[in-house]
Amino acid sequence: MTESNSLVRLIYASVKDRYVDGPELKNILNVAQTNNKKSGITGILLFNGGYFLQALEGSRAHVNKLYQSITKDQRHQNFQIIEFIDVATRTWGNWSMKLVSISQQEERIYEKYSGQIGFNPFVLNSDDAVYFLKEISNFDIGLSQ
Ligand code: FAD
């Protein structure tokens, strides 16, 4: 099989399964960071207790493979790809996966881009999702690497 070396970014939204709590989220993050370091994936994962919004960046082959694995994970469901695009550079290049929990500050940024109250990543268009995630990243000083 021929694999492209293109750098891509994939952003998707999903709905958490009811059993995902704080410790489970920590497990997800630990596995993500370990695996992503090996496969050269970087990105950001947002969680508000109900929804996930995640950006994955890396080689097209690795991002595709990871996304397929993520959609088999029963800890979340109702996947919707918001953006899948070639990119020239990484936005979250320093983060094997950065976790951000949505608090009041992030909610305010979300409202600016979505025009809505109450975080629901499914209503974001691709541009707004990217700008929202970028602004959140600058804002947040980082929970983990
Ligand atoms: P295995 O752990 O053997 O998984 C086999 C299959 O079972 C996979 O499809 C997996 O998705 C699923 N699975 C694993 N654990 C559970 C569980 N506790 N409950 C239900 N299903 C499970 N992984 C990364 O490597 N990088 C990421 O950036 C990343 N982001 C994630 C974001 C979210 C919101 C979630 C929920 C998971 C994320 N994961 C991520 C975890 C990912 O879904 C896989 O569990 C992980 O990649 C290991 O999969 P595996 O096929 O190598 O091995």
Q: What is the DSSP string of 29-77?
A: HHHHHHHHHHHT-EEEEEE-SSEEEEEEEEEHHHHHHHHHHHTT-TTEE
Q: Is residue 52 part of a domain?
A: yes
Question: If you take atom 30 of ligand 1, which residue's CA is the nearest one?
Answer: 32
Q: Is residue 16 part of a domain?
A: yes
**Bigger pLDDT: 139 vs 26:** 26
* Confidence band of 140 (pLDDT split at 50, 70, 90): low
Q: Given a cut of 60, is residue 2 above it in pLDDT?
A: no
Contact 118, 126 (CB under 8 A): no
Domain that holds residue 67: 3-137
Decide: pTM greater than 0.85.
yes
Cβ contacts of 74 within 8 Å, gap of 6 or more: 17
How would you classify the pairing of strands 42-47 and 51-59? antiparallel
Q: Is residue 143 part of a domain?
A: no
Which tens digit of pLDDT belongs to each residue from 75-88?
999 999 999 999 99
Q: Is residue 142 part of a domain?
A: no
| Residue 73 in contact with ligand 1 by CB distance below 6 A | yes
Q: What local confidence, expressed as pLDDT, does residue 56 receive?
A: 98
Which tens digit of pLDDT belongs to each residue from 73-125?
999 999 999 999 999 999 999 999 999 999 898 999 999 999 999 999 999 99
Q: Is residue 68 part of a domain?
A: yes
Q: What local confidence, expressed as pLDDT, does residue 87 receive?
A: 97
Q: Is residue 65 part of a domain?
A: yes
Number of domain units in the chain: 1
Contact 11, 55 (CB under 8 A): yes
* CATH for 129: 3.30.70.100
- Report the separation in Å between the CA atom of 69 and the middle of ligand 1, taken as the mean of its atom positions: 6
Q: Is residue 11 part of a domain?
A: yes
Q: What local confidence, expressed as pLDDT, does residue 21 receive?
A: 86
Q: Is residue 129 part of a domain?
A: yes
Q: Which two tokens stand for residue 91?
A: 């936005």
